[in-house]
Structure 1
Amino acid sequence: MLLFFTLGLFVHFVFFVSIFDIYFTSPLVHGMTPQFTSLPPPARRLVLFVADGLRADALYELDENGNSRAPFIRNIIMHEGSWGISHTHVPTESRPGHVALIAGFYEDVSAVAKGWKENPVEFDSLFNESKYTWSWGSPDILPMFAKGASGDHVYTYSYNAQREDFGAHDATKLDTWVFDNVKEFFHAARNNQSLFSKINEEKIVFFLHLLGIDTNGHAHRPSSREYKDNIKIVDDGVKEIVSMFKHFYRNDSHGAGHPSETLTPLVTWGAGIKYPQKVSAQHFDDEFLKEWGLEEWKRRDVNQADIAPLMASLIGVPFPLNSVGILPMDYLNNTDLFKAESIFTNAVQMLEQFKVKMTQKKETTLPFLFTPFKLLSGSKQMNILRKARSYIEQGEFDEAISLCKELIHLALKGLSYYHTYDRFFLATNVVLGFVGWTVYASLLIIKSCSNLTRCVNKVKKPSHLLPCFVAIGILIAFFLLIQGCPWTYYVYCLLPVPIWYAVLKEFQVIQDLIASILAFPLSHFVGYLLVFILGIEVLVLSFFYRYMLTAGLTAFAVWPFLNQLWTRAKITSLSWTFFCLLLAVFPLMPVVGRKPDISLVMGAGLLVLLLSLFVLTSLLKRKTSFGKAEILVHLLQMINTVLSMYVVYSTHNSLFKKQGLPLMNQIVSWATLASSLVVPLLSSPVLFWRLFSILLSLMSTYLLLSTGYEALFPLVLSCLMFIWIYMEQETLQQSGIFSKQKLTSIQFSYNTDITQFRQLYLDDVRRAFFLVFFLVTAFFGTGNIASINSFDLASVYCFLTVFSPFMMGALMMWKILIPFVLVMCAFEAVQLTTQLSSKSLFLIVLVLSDIMALQFFFLIKDCGSWLDIGTSISHYVIVMSMAIFLVFLNGLAQLLTTKKLNLCGKPKSHLL
C-alpha cells in the first residue's frame, strides 16, 4: 500500500507540474536585433513616476467636497498632457506589473517561485536600452531591472526593506524618502562634474518608485483616509520634482504615472506628448468618466505593455527586445513621418521575435511534422515590410501605419501559435495518463476492497502484454530523442505506458465489473450514475459559483429524512439539518478581506470559550476517569483562546493608532502557532476529547489570522463534523453492520489492524463524496479564487507587519489549511467508527478528485481575459493540490488523532 501511495503521489505531482509546461512556459526568446527609429526623438530624457497600488478611481474621482485629491496631476490632464486607463493583467503583484510597464511583456508565473524578486528568465527592458537609468524606491523592485543589464548604466538607490512595514506609524515616508533622495541627488550633481555630465546626456531615464500608497492600501484599505491622504502627498511630491527638473534643465521633461490594479491611471506630459483634447462625447465600456468629471477631456486607454514602446520612442532608444506592446500612437505629438517610422520599428521588432520563435520550433521538430504559421509566411512578411516602406517614402503615412499594425497583430498571433505549438501533443499525453490512473485506482478499489471480483489470482496473465508495452515505450523515447525534446516531455509521454499496462493487466477485474453492472437493475444503475454525475458537477460548479455549496449543503440537510434516519435519531438528525443550513450561509456572504470586523472575531472566540466551559463542566459533573493532565490541557487551551482574543484586539487597536505591532503580541502569536500542533497530543486519545482538543488548539491560531466573520467558520464546520460522525454511526447501525459505540468510549489507535475492517458498500461512495464536498467547502466557504489571488495582508498582522511575501504567504496558506485539517480529523473518526479502512475511502476520494481535476483540465482557457485564464488554471491547480495534499493531510490527521504525549510519568488509561 505504501508503494501505491508513493507512486500515486509521483503521478499526481507529474500531472500537477505538467500544467506549467503546457500553459506557463516562458514566452521569451533571445537573439533578436535591437530596433529603433532613426529620426530624432522628441525628448532627451524620461521621468517615470510609478505610484504602486494607486487605483484609477482613487486618483481621478473627486472627493466629497468636489475637489481632486491630486490637483497637480488633474491640472496636467486638463492643460498639459494626455491621460487614460492602463489595463493590467493578473496577477496584480508589483513585480509582473513593473515588468509589463518597463519591459513590455506579461511575465509568466514562474517568477512566483522566486517571490517575484528574481528573474527566472533574463529579459531586456527600457532601462537596459537607455544610456543611463537612475532609480529610487523599493529594494524588491529596483534590483530586478539592474540585474542582467548590459554594462554598468542602471543605478539603484533603495531604502531598507524593514521600512515596508504595514503596521508602521506613517507609510508615506516610503514616498517622501524617494522625493528627498532625488532632490539630494540633483543637488550633489551640481558639485560633481562627472555626474553632472551624465545626467545631461540624451536617452536617459529617471525612475521614481513610490510604494507608500500600496503599503497604506494593504494596511488600511483603499477606502481609508490614510490611503487617500497618501495620494495628496504623492501629488505634492510629483509637483515638487517636476518643478525641480524644469529648474535644473531649463525645459520640460516627460512623466508618466502608473500603479498596479486592474484599472490603473496613466498620465503623460512633456516633450512628444499630445496636449489635452476636448471632445463632445466619448464612449467606453465603463461609466467612470462622468463620476470623475473628465467626460470632456479625451481619454486614451492602453494595455500595460504598450507603455514600454511609448517611452522608448520618446527618448529614441531601441524598443525592449521582448516587448509585445503596441505603440499607442494616440499619445504622440509629432509628425506623421515620426509616427509611421516608430510603428514600423515596432512591427520589425515584433517580427524579429516571431522569426526567432519559428526558427527554434522548426529546429526541434521533424520536417514532415512541422506545420508553419500560414498567416505570416516569409513572402508575406517581405511583402508587408516592402509596401509599408514604400508608403512611408511616398508620404502615405496612414496606409503605412495600417499595414504595420496588421503585421504586428499577425506577429503576435504567430508568437502565440509557436508558443503553444506542443500544447495539444502534451495535453493528449497528460489526459491519457490521467484517465489511465483513474481507471487503475478504480480497479484497485474493486479488486481489493469489494466482493465484485472472483478468483482473480487464478487467471493467467497474457504473456504478450509486457513486450508490447516495452516496444511502445522505446518507440516513444526514440521519437522524442530525435526531436531534441526536453526531459519533461519524456515523463509526460512515457508515464501513460506503465499506467495502461497496469490497467490491462487487470482485464479479469474489468470483465467481472462489467458482469456485475449487467446483473444490476438498469433503472437503479442509471439512477445511481445520475446522482453521482450530479454530485460531481455541483462540486465543479462550486469553483465558479460559491452558492452551489449552499445548494449542496441544503440538499445534505434533508438527507436524514430520505433514508429514514429521522425515525432512529431525531435529535442527531435535527442537529445535522441545523448545522448544514448554518454552514450554508457562509458561501452566500461576501468574500473575506473586504470589510474587517474585529467584533466578529471576538464573538467567535467567546463562543469557543462558552463551548469549552460547557464541555469541561460536563466532564466534572459526570465524574469520569478523565485524567488531571487532560483537564490541565483543556484549561491551558481555554487560556490560549483568551490570549488570542486579547492579541487580536490589542493588535488592531495598536495598528489603528499607528503604533505598530507590539512585540509581546508577536511573541504570543508565534508561540500559539508553534504549539497548535503539539498541545492536542497531550490530550486523551478518546475520540471525542481528542477531536475537541484539536478544534480548540487550531481555533486559537485561526482567531489570530482572522479579520471578520470567517472566524466563525471553523467552529460551525467542526460542529457539523461532530454530527457527521454520529450520523455515520447511525447509518451503519441501521443497516445492521455493527452496534453503535459511544464516541466517549472509542479511542484512536495508530496500530489498528485494517485487515479486520469490512469491505466496501455502495454507501461508502457517498461517505467519500461527503468528504470531498466538505474539503471544497473548507476551501471556498469564505473566499474564492479572486480573494486568494489578492489576499488581505491584514490577516497576518498579529504575526508580522514588515513585508515578507514567503512568510505572509505561508501564514495565509496555514489559515486555508486549518479547516482542511479539521475535516480530515473528522474523516479519521468516520473511518474508525464505521469500521472502514483508510485505504478504501482514501482511494475513492482520490478517484473523485481526479475526475474533477480532469474536467478542470479541459476547462482551462488560453484565450480571453487574463483573469479568466488565471482562474481556470487556478481551479485545476487547487483540485490537483487537493489530491496531492490529501496524503499529507491524512498523515497530519493521523498524527493529531493517534499520537499521545505524556506530561510526566507513565501513560494512564483514558477509557471513560
Structure 2
Amino acid sequence: MRMMTFLLVGLLVHVVFFLSIFDIYFTSPLVHGMTPQATPMAPPASRLVLVVADGLRADSLFTLLPNGSSRAPYLRSVIEEKGTWGVSHTRVPTESRPGHVALIAGFYEDVSAIAKGWKENPVEFDSVFNETRNTWCWGSPDILPMFAKGASGDHVYTHTYPAEEEDFASTDASRLDTWVFTQVKSFFQSAKSNSSLRANLLEDENVFFLHLLGIDTNGHAHRPMSQEYLNNIGLVDTGVAELVSMVEDFFGHDGRTAYVFTSDHGMTNWGSHGAGHPSETLTPLVAWGAGVNYAHKVTEVQPYKDGFLQDWKLEHLRRVDVNQADIAPLMASLIGIPFPVNSVGVLPLLYLNNSDHFKAESIYTNAIQVLEQYKIKMSQKKETTLSFLFTPYHFFFVTLHSLLIRLLQDIFDLVQPVHFPSSVSCQISLCRSLIAHALEGLLYYHTYDRFFLGCSVVLGFVGWTSYVVLVILKTHANLNRRPGLLKQVRAYATIPLSLLCVCVTVVITGFLLIQRSPVTYYVYCLLPVPLWYSVLKESGTLTDLIRSAPSLPLWKCFGYFVLVSFGIELLVVSFFHRAMLTVGLVVLSVWPFLSGLFDKAKFRSLSWCVGCLCLAAFPLMPVVGREPNIHLVTCAGLLTLFTSACYLWSSRRRTTLHLSDRQQFFTQMLLVAVCAYVPSLTHSSLQQKQGLPLFNQIISWTTLGRLVLKSGLSEALFPPVLSWLMFVWINIEQEAMLAQGVSGRQELATIDFSANIDITKIRQLKLDDIRRSYFFVFFIITAFFGTGNIASINSFDPASVYCFLTIFNPFIMGGLMMWKVIIPFIIVMCTFETIQVATQLSSRSLFLIVLVISDLMALHFFFLVQDYGSWLDIGTSISHYVIVMSMTIFLMLLSVVTHILTSQRLFLWRPKMHFP
C-alpha cells in the first residue's frame, strides 16, 4: 500500500513537472482587444487570388529541366517578366496547419494550440480572411474549416472534397488539384448567370483561396523526385495559367486583381515534413498583378546563404525573401483591409509597386498594429505584477514609445513625401525599427515569468530527487541506525519545521493572490514546500550514512558514482548525437570481460558482446531519408522465426515447455511469418497503384503488435536484435548474481512471475544494482533513439502505416506510429521485470534508482532549454525535456502493465481434463 501511494505521489509530481514546460514555453502568444489598423490610402487591388500548393519545395519549382526548360513555364514567365519572386522561410513544425496559420493570420501558432484540433480553429485569432468583405475557398477539408469557423459575419465560404479522397494509395493524387480548378471554373461560370453572386464578386476587398493538396499527397506516396510529384507541378502551373485567364476575363481585364502563389511547407527527399531541413523550410513565393512590383533585373549576383540562386538560373533577377508570416500583411496591404490584429509579420515593401507615400503609410500602419499588441501585452502583465516588482521592457521604457508615435504622426501630417522624398526612407527606417523593438517587447512580456517559474520547478525537482535518494538509503541500504532516543529528539524537532512550512505556504499563497496569478502558478510554487519538508524530515538518514561510512567500500562507491555520472552525460549527449549510443554499446560489450564473468559464462558473454555490437550499428544508420527495403522486412521475419525455432528446440530438449506453451509458440511463429509477407504484398500492390488490399488491411489490424515489421525500413531488424540482446541480458545477470555468491538461479521457463513474492525481504541493495538500473535506462533510450531521433519524430512519413490505411487521418496514423515507438519500450520493460524476479532484486528499490537517473537527466535538459537561436534549436531543446519527462511518467505506467504481462499465464486451446 505504501509503495502504491509513493507511485501515485511520484506520478503526480512528474505530471506537474511535465506540464510546467507548457506553461513556461508553450503558452499562447495571442492577446485580444486590439484596434484593427488599415492603411488610409486607396489600395492598388480590389481582389486577391491566393494559391497555396501544399508540400511544394522551392527548388522543385525554380530548378530548370536538363534541357533548359521549366516544368512550370507559366510561373517562370511571371518571375522573369511581370512579378516579384523569392523564398518564403517557414518555421518548425513544417506542417500544413501551422504553415497556413502563418500565411493567412500572420503569426506562428504555438504547440498547445496545434494539439487542440486539426480541422477547426481551437483559438480565436484574426486572419486575412476574417477582415475581407468575402472569401471563397476551395480545397482540403483539413485546412479550410478552421479559418471559416473563426471568421465573423459568415462571409468565408468553403468548398471541400470528401476526406476519403486524400488517399496515399490512389492512382493519381493530382486529381485533388484538378477538382479544385474545376470547381473554381464552375463557380465563375455560374456567377455569370447569378446576379447576386456576380454583384458580390464585383465588390472590393474579396479573396479567392485555392488550397492544392495533390503535390503533398504525391510527395508522401511517391517521393518528391518521382514523376508523379513533378508532373503534378506542371498540372498546377497549367491550372494557374487558366485560372488567371479566367479571372481576368470575368473582371474585364480591369487590372485590379493581385495574385500570390506560395506553399505552406516543403518536403524532404524521402517524402516527409515536420522538421527543419532546408528542403522543408524553403518554399516558393511568386506575386504579380495589381500593386505588385514587376521583375527587377540586377547586374551583380546576390549573396544568399542557401546557394540556390545559381542552380535556379535566376541570379539576374532580384530575389526578395520573406518570413512566412510576412505574407499576411502583404495580402492585407494589396487589397486595403486591416492587418490581422495578431500578425507579427513585417510588410515586405519590395513587393509593392506603389508610391513612396503609400509604402510609408503601409509600414506605419504595420508598426501601429504590432504596437497595439505590445501595449495590450504590457498592460496585462503590469496589472498582474506588484508595482515595485514590475520591470518594463528597457527600450520603450527609455524612449517613451508614446512620444515616438506622436513624432511619427507629426511627420506624416506635416511632411508630404511628394515634396520631401528624402523623408520617406527615414520614416520607413524608423517604422522598421519600431516594429523590431515592439516584437522584442512582445517576446519579453510573453516570457516575463519564465525565470520565476523555472526556479520554482528546479527547486521542486531537486527536492524530489533528494527525497528519493534518502528513501533508497533509509529503506534499502544497510546503514548503522542511530539510537532510539535520538530518533525521538528528531521527531520533536519536526514540530517547528512543520510550523515553518505552514508559514512559507501562507506567504507564497498571499504573494500569488496579490498578483492574481493563474492557478497553475500555485501548483509550481507550492509543490516544493512539502517536498523539502519531507527531505528535511528524513535528514537523519544522512547522519546514518556518515556513521556507516567506515564500513562502506568508499573507493568502490566513488568509482560507481563517477561511472554513472559519465554514463548519464553520455545519454544526454546521445539526444544530440545518436552515435554516442554506439559508443555506449561498444563499452557495454566488454563488460563481461572486465567484470570477470567471461571465465564463468563464456558462451553468454560472447553472445552479449555480439548482441551489443550488432545493436550498435543501428544508431549509425540514417534516421530519415531511407527508401523502403522490403527485403529487410522479410529478413527480420526470418530472423525472428529462426530465433524462436532455436529457443523452441532447446526448450524441448530440456522439456521445460508445456504442450499448451508449444501450441502458443507455434501460433506466434505463424503470425510472424504472415506479418513478414504482408508488407511485401502491400508494397507491390501500392507500386502497381492497385490500392491497399482488404485482406492485408485485416491482417495488419488483427496483428497490431507486429507494426514494426511493417515499417519497410531497417527498423524492422531492430526489434529482433534488441530482443536477442535482452534475452542474453537476463541470462548473464543470473550469472552475475552467482558470481556475487547469491544463490537461487532459475531457468527462465520455470520462473513463477505470478507468485507475487515480496523479494524486498530476500536481500538489500548492492552497488551492482546501480549498474543494472543504469543498463535499463540506457536500453530504454536506445529503444527510443536506436532507429530515430527528433528529426524522424517530427517528420511525418506515413509509409510505415500503409499496411493499415492509406487515407489521410493524422490522429490514427499518429497513434499507429506512436505504438510502433512503444513496442521496443515494452521489450525492455518486460526484460527488466524478468531480471527483477529472476535475480531476486527489489523491484521498488531498482525502480527508485531508475527514477533518480531519469530525473537527473530531465533536470539536465531543463537547464538546456533555450529561447534563443534558431527555431529548430529552441524546439529541439524543449523536445528533449518533454521526451525525458514523458519517458519517466510512461515508465511508471508501463511498469504496471509489464507486471501484468509477465505475471499472467496465457492458455490457448487447452483441452478439458476428464477424470473417471
TM-score, scaled to structure 1: 0.94
1:20 aligned to 22, 25, 32, which one? 22
- Asked if the contact 1:456/1:508 (under 8 Å) is kept, the reply is no
Distance, in Å, in 2 between the alignment partners of 1:875 and 1:797 is 29
1:701 aligned to 699, 704, 707, which one? 707
Q: How far did residue 498 of structure 1 move?
A: 0.7
Counterpart in the other structure of 2:878: 873
- Asked if the contact 1:111/1:117 (under 8 Å) is kept, the reply is no
1:473 aligned to 505, 508, 524, which one? 505
Distance, in Å, in 2 between the alignment partners of 1:525 and 1:572 is 27
2:375 aligned to 348, 352, 355, which one? 355
1:114 aligned to 113, 116, 121, which one? 116
Instruction: State which drifts further: 267-276 or 96-105.
Output: 267-276
User: In the comparison of the two structures, how many residue pairs are matched?
Assistant: 881
Counterpart in the other structure of 1:302: 322
Counterpart in the other structure of 2:295: 276
Counterpart in the other structure of 2:637: 605
Distance, in Å, in 1 between the alignment partners of 2:212 and 2:379 is 41
- Asked if the contact 2:104/2:127 (under 8 Å) is kept, the reply is yes
Counterpart in the other structure of 2:496: 464
Query: Secondary structure of the equivalent of 1:169?
Result: coil
1:436 aligns with 2:463: yes
Counterpart in the other structure of 2:440: 413
Q: How far did residue 743 of structure 1 move?
A: 2.5
Distance, in Å, in 2 between the alignment partners of 1:3 and 1:618 is 43
Instruction: State which drifts further: 891-900 or 488-497.
Output: 891-900
Counterpart in the other structure of 1:204: 206
Counterpart in the other structure of 2:684: 653
1:159 aligned to 161, 177, 185, which one? 161
1:508 aligns with 2:540: yes
Distance, in Å, in 2 between the alignment partners of 1:317 and 1:701 is 51
- Asked if the contact 2:56/2:283 (under 8 Å) is kept, the reply is yes
Q: How far did residue 226 of structure 1 move?
A: 1.4
- Asked if the contact 2:106/2:340 (under 8 Å) is kept, the reply is yes
Counterpart in the other structure of 2:828: 823
Q: How far did residue 238 of structure 1 move?
A: 0.9
Please list, as runs of the form range in 1=range in 2, the aligned pairs for 1:460-859 lying within 5 A after superposition: 460=488, 461=491, 462=493, 463-516=495-548, 524-592=556-624, 594-620=626-652, 622=653, 624=655, 626-673=657-704, 676=705, 700-704=706-710, 706-859=711-864
Q: How far did residue 453 of structure 1 move?
A: 4.9
TM-score, scaled to structure 2: 0.94
- Asked if the contact 2:734/2:839 (under 8 Å) is kept, the reply is yes
Distance, in Å, in 2 between the alignment partners of 1:422 and 1:791 is 33
Q: How far did residue 297 of structure 1 move?
A: 1.4
Distance, in Å, in 1 between the alignment partners of 2:831 and 2:611 is 15
Counterpart in the other structure of 2:391: 371
- Asked if the contact 1:47/1:205 (under 8 Å) is kept, the reply is yes
Distance, in Å, in 1 between the alignment partners of 2:780 and 2:761 is 28
Distance, in Å, in 2 between the alignment partners of 1:652 and 1:456 is 72
1:181 aligned to 160, 166, 183, which one? 183
Query: Secondary structure of the equivalent of 1:367?
Result: coil
Instruction: State which drifts further: 222-231 or 750-759.
Output: 750-759
- Asked if the contact 2:97/2:114 (under 8 Å) is kept, the reply is no
Deviations 1:381-410 (A, max 9, x none): 133223333444422100000100111011
- Asked if the contact 2:632/2:713 (under 8 Å) is kept, the reply is yes
Distance, in Å, in 2 between the alignment partners of 1:10 and 1:124 is 37
Query: Secondary structure of the equivalent of 1:660?
Result: coil
1:472–1:518: structure 2 CA closer, same or farther, 3 Å change rule? farther
1:209–1:441: structure 2 CA closer, same or farther, 3 Å change rule? same
Amino acid at match of 2:617: V
1:137 aligns with 2:139: yes
Counterpart in the other structure of 2:7: 5
Distance, in Å, in 2 between the alignment partners of 1:274 and 1:144 is 32
Distance, in Å, in 2 between the alignment partners of 1:453 and 1:708 is 56
Query: Secondary structure of the equivalent of 1:744?
Result: helix
Identity %: 60
Query: Secondary structure of the equivalent of 1:435?
Result: helix
Instruction: State which drifts further: 297-306 or 587-596.
Output: 587-596
Distance, in Å, in 2 between the alignment partners of 1:780 and 1:540 is 12
Counterpart in the other structure of 1:66: 68
Q: How far did residue 250 of structure 1 move?
A: 2.3
1:256 aligned to 260, 263, 276, which one? 260
Q: How far did residue 334 of structure 1 move?
A: 1.0
Q: How far did residue 521 of structure 1 move?
A: 6.7
Counterpart in the other structure of 1:696: none
1:750–1:188: structure 2 CA closer, same or farther, 3 Å change rule? farther
1:319 aligned to 331, 339, 352, which one? 339
Amino acid at match of 1:647: V
Instruction: State which drifts further: 395-404 or 603-612.
Output: 603-612
Q: How far did residue 594 of structure 1 move?
A: 2.9
1:757–1:78: structure 2 CA closer, same or farther, 3 Å change rule? farther
Deviations 1:881-903 (A, max 9, x none): 11000012212211221112333
Q: How far did residue 116 of structure 1 move?
A: 2.9
Amino acid at match of 1:262: T
Query: Secondary structure of the equivalent of 1:267?
Result: strand
Name structure 2 gaps, 5 residues minimum: 266-279, 418-422
Counterpart in the other structure of 1:146: 148
Query: Secondary structure of the equivalent of 1:320?
Result: coil
Query: Secondary structure of the equivalent of 1:257?
Result: strand
- Asked if the contact 1:115/1:805 (under 8 Å) is kept, the reply is no
1:347–1:592: structure 2 CA closer, same or farther, 3 Å change rule? closer
Deviations 1:228-268 (A, max 9, x none): 11111111111111111111112242222222131111111
Query: Secondary structure of the equivalent of 2:533?
Result: helix
Counterpart in the other structure of 2:285: 266
Q: How far did residue 520 of structure 1 move?
A: 5.3
Name structure 1 gaps, 5 residues minimum: 677-699
Distance, in Å, in 1 between the alignment partners of 2:601 and 2:779 is 22
1:751–1:520: structure 2 CA closer, same or farther, 3 Å change rule? closer
Distance, in Å, in 1 between the alignment partners of 2:204 and 2:217 is 34
- Asked if the contact 1:274/1:331 (under 8 Å) is kept, the reply is yes
Amino acid at match of 1:540: V
Distance, in Å, in 2 between the alignment partners of 1:197 and 1:537 is 68
Q: How far did residue 530 of structure 1 move?
A: 2.2
- Asked if the contact 1:138/1:158 (under 8 Å) is kept, the reply is yes
Counterpart in the other structure of 2:270: none
Distance, in Å, in 1 between the alignment partners of 2:90 and 2:912 is 61
Distance, in Å, in 2 between the alignment partners of 1:834 and 1:617 is 25
- Asked if the contact 1:447/1:453 (under 8 Å) is kept, the reply is no
Distance, in Å, in 2 between the alignment partners of 1:521 and 1:608 is 44
Amino acid at match of 1:10: L
- Asked if the contact 1:135/1:156 (under 8 Å) is kept, the reply is yes
- Asked if the contact 1:388/1:399 (under 8 Å) is kept, the reply is no
Instruction: State which drifts further: 451-460 or 397-406.
Output: 451-460
Counterpart in the other structure of 2:244: 242
Distance, in Å, in 2 between the alignment partners of 1:793 and 1:121 is 28
Q: How far did residue 86 of structure 1 move?
A: 0.7
2:229 aligned to 212, 217, 227, which one? 227
| Off by >6 Å, runs of 4+ in structure 1 | none
Query: Secondary structure of the equivalent of 1:134?
Result: strand
Distance, in Å, in 2 between the alignment partners of 1:640 and 1:152 is 54
Query: Secondary structure of the equivalent of 1:269?
Result: strand
- Asked if the contact 2:826/2:898 (under 8 Å) is kept, the reply is yes
Query: Secondary structure of the equivalent of 2:703?
Result: helix
Distance, in Å, in 2 between the alignment partners of 1:456 and 1:707 is 65
Q: How far did residue 517 of structure 1 move?
A: 5.1
Counterpart in the other structure of 1:683: none
Counterpart in the other structure of 2:104: 102
Counterpart in the other structure of 2:472: 445
Counterpart in the other structure of 1:693: none
